[in-house]
Chain A
Amino acid sequence: MARYGMALDYKNCINCRACEVACKEENGVELGAEKHRIWVGSNNPDGEWPNLSLSSAVFLPSQCQHCEEAPCQEVCPTNATYYNDDGIVLVDSDKCILCTYCMNACPYDARYVDERTMTVDKCTFCSDTRLARGETTTACQATCPTKVRTFGDLDDPNSEISQLLENREHFSLKAHLGTKPKLFYLR
């Protein structure tokens, strides 16, 4: 058993969105802007012309944080949202009743409705595709041209992600909520 997480060297992101395309291709995510498991956020530069803060104009790739204390899992009335043995937060579509409570409870807006199954869908860390085939990377990581993402086992001290988190300062989104996200942004 592993405890999977992802580190994001977000300042390397060039907003090519190859990760979004790779995710859709690999996992059969529906087409359309509203239907996305992962996304690249962008911040317009702060300030007013000509005094713009270029350093504030960053891209922030994101997705489900696979929280250890996931609010979406806590509010799910039928346990459709669950943790697998590797700590990945997944949705059992057979149990999902589409109450959309999880969509409101998720602090990261990481969930959407899959119109084909009419159930809530989200990032799976490619657990039922690439990981199931024995691969060790996610589609978004494998396709990224600037190596923004590093996926791996947080419990393995020798894994690349553990080494990165050991040696680089990092932060998590909305960490004050106590959700214990497993996505880490490298400073």
Chain B
Amino acid sequence: MMMKDFIPLKENIHINLNFSMVGKIVAAASVILIGFYLFGVVNFLEHGHHAYNTTREHPWGFLVSAYEFFVALSMGTIAIATSAIFFDIKALKPLVKRMLVFGLLALIAGFAVFLFEIGHPITMVIYTALSGHPTSALFWLGVFYPLTMLFTAITYVLYVKGKESKVYSMLALIFANSSILTAGSIFGLLNDNAFASGVFYQIEFIASGILGGIFLFSIIAKFFITTKEFEKGVLLLKGASIALISLLLIMYLVKFLQAVYGDVPGKVEIVEHIFASPRFWLFEILLGLVFPLFVAIWGSKEKIGMFCLASVFGLIGLMSARINVVEAVQIVPKQLMKVTEYQLPPSIISYTPSMTEWAIGLGAIGIFIFLLFIAESVLKLDKKDAH
């Protein structure tokens, strides 16, 4: 048995290092980011969780944000690809192989962050299996991720062999959606948290995850896979992005309006904090959503140049959104009467990521780009690669 019997490897594997100018810039950025990641890992191995700026009151930091960014991106991308197979969306078929593989790679990049966020990853694997707790959203993530990976991989292998499996694509679609819903539920099921609890984050994660997949493939279509039919598929997704961004903007409006209406305690403080943040307005709303929406509606219907630029900002906006959600659910102290001696109780808990956290969280982007490059080099991803 050869590896090729299981994994659809290219007949002639060739690592092409003759990059275009954009490719060179991306490759250089990737190398720098991987170096940054390794710096973070070494710091973590030396100092453990002391290398992070998380505290008792703010136990989740930037690594949770980065992890959530990658898993939402992953599950959204897989959801698009499997939908294309299951619902037989022909215009998206040229993208399917890459979307399935890149979705899996985004998940691996997320794991590269999660590995250093969680305190005891090996214990997690052992005891999730031996004494898993079904009322925990995190437990279900441990169930859904492997199933999503398994059925996505099977769907990809069969697709390369020319078989469009409705059953496996449906299973991958179901478990990808379950994963992303569960990831949103980690926040949405914090019943004590007036701002987070509810259905907002579950739906927001699905919409923004799929949107992230669209942004990612718009960038790839512009700079790396410049075939007509690939671009045609991305143009179809560009239309879908209008609906997704509109939905997200409406959800934001309603959520914030509901919080400030009547000055609801536990909500209004958070909204005031968010509104005072340039990161929210500039990155999450203006560049991350409004600009891509503007370009998607009024931009060229045949070309994706401007939408590609908007997609770069869109992905930055989505990362910013993840930072904001993790911060928003933790900034209001739970026990206002609990004070440290000689210190007034804080009205808002502050948190700034440490250099190690930035390094691991942002460095994972470099790992993701590197994995994409390897996948492009060794896996069958183009139409001509099909059997």
Contact with B along A1-35 (1 / 0, CB 8 A): 00000000000000000000000000000000110
Residue among B55, B333, B344 with most chain A CB within 10 A: B55
Is the CB–CB distance between A75 and B119 below 8 Å?
A: no
Is the CB–CB distance between B335 and A98 below 8 Å?
A: no
Q: A42 to chain B: which residues have CB within 8 Å?
A: 337, 339
Q: B74 to chain A: which residues have CB within 8 Å?
A: none
Among residues 329 to 345 in chain B, which have CB atoms less than 8 Å away from a CB atom of chain A?
A: 329-330, 333-335, 337-341, 344
Given A98-B118, A99-B138, answer yes or no on A107-B334 (Cβ-Cβ < 8 Å): yes
Among residues 2 to 52 in chain B, which have CB atoms less than 8 Å away from a CB atom of chain A?
A: 48-50
Given A44-B344, A103-B56, A177-B191, answer yes or no on A75-B127 (Cβ-Cβ < 8 Å): no
Q: Interface residues of B toward A: which range?
A: 35 or more
Q: B139 to chain A: which residues have CB within 8 Å?
A: 77-78
Q: B353 to chain A: which residues have CB within 8 Å?
A: none
Interface residue? B59 (CB, 8 A):
yes
Interface residue? A131 (CB, 8 A):
no
In the complex, how many angstroms separate the beta carbon of B346 from the nearest chain A beta carbon? 12
Q: Which of A112-120, A137-145, A162-170 contacts B (4 or more CB under 8 A)?
A: A112-120
Given A107-B192, A118-B49, answer yes or no on A79-B131 (Cβ-Cβ < 8 Å): yes
Is the CB–CB distance between B329 and A78 below 8 Å?
A: no
Contact with A along B107-132 (1 / 0, CB 8 A): 00000000000111101100110011
Is the CB–CB distance between B59 and A80 below 8 Å?
A: no
Q: A97 to chain B: which residues have CB within 8 Å?
A: 118-121, 123-124, 127
Complex Cα–Cα for A75 and B140 (A) = 11
Is the CB–CB distance between A78 and B119 below 8 Å?
A: no
In the complex, how many angstroms separate the beta carbon of A71 from the nearest chain B beta carbon? 6
Main secondary structure of the interface of B (DSSP, over half): loop
In the complex, how many angstroms separate the beta carbon of B339 from the nearest chain A beta carbon? 6
Interface residue? A62 (CB, 8 A):
yes
Complex Cα–Cα for A77 and B139 (A) = 5
Q: Which of A76, A94, A107 contacts B136 (CB 8 A)?
A: A76
In the complex, how many angstroms separate the beta carbon of A134 from the nearest chain B beta carbon? 30
**New A-B pairs, 10, CB < 8 Å, besides A42-B337, A78-B131:** A41-B335, A62-B337, A71-B192, A77-B138, A78-B132, A79-B131, A80-B127, A94-B123, A101-B136, A106-B192
30 A-B residue pairs with Cβ-Cβ distance under 8 Å, sorted by A, are A33-B341, A34-B56, A41-B339, A74-B133, A74-B135, A75-B135, A75-B189, A77-B128, A77-B136, A77-B138, A94-B123, A97-B120, A97-B121, A98-B119, A99-B138, A100-B54, A100-B59, A100-B60, A101-B136, A103-B59, A104-B60, A104-B330, A105-B190, A106-B192, A106-B334, A107-B192, A107-B334, A108-B335, A112-B56, A174-B192
Residues of chain B having any CB pair with chain A under 8 Å = 48-50, 54-57, 59-60, 118-121, 123-124, 127-128, 131-133, 135-139, 142, 186, 189-193, 329-330, 333-335, 337-341, 344
Residues of chain A having any CB pair with chain B under 8 Å = 33-34, 39, 41-44, 60, 62, 71, 74-80, 94-101, 103-109, 111-113, 115, 118-119, 174, 177
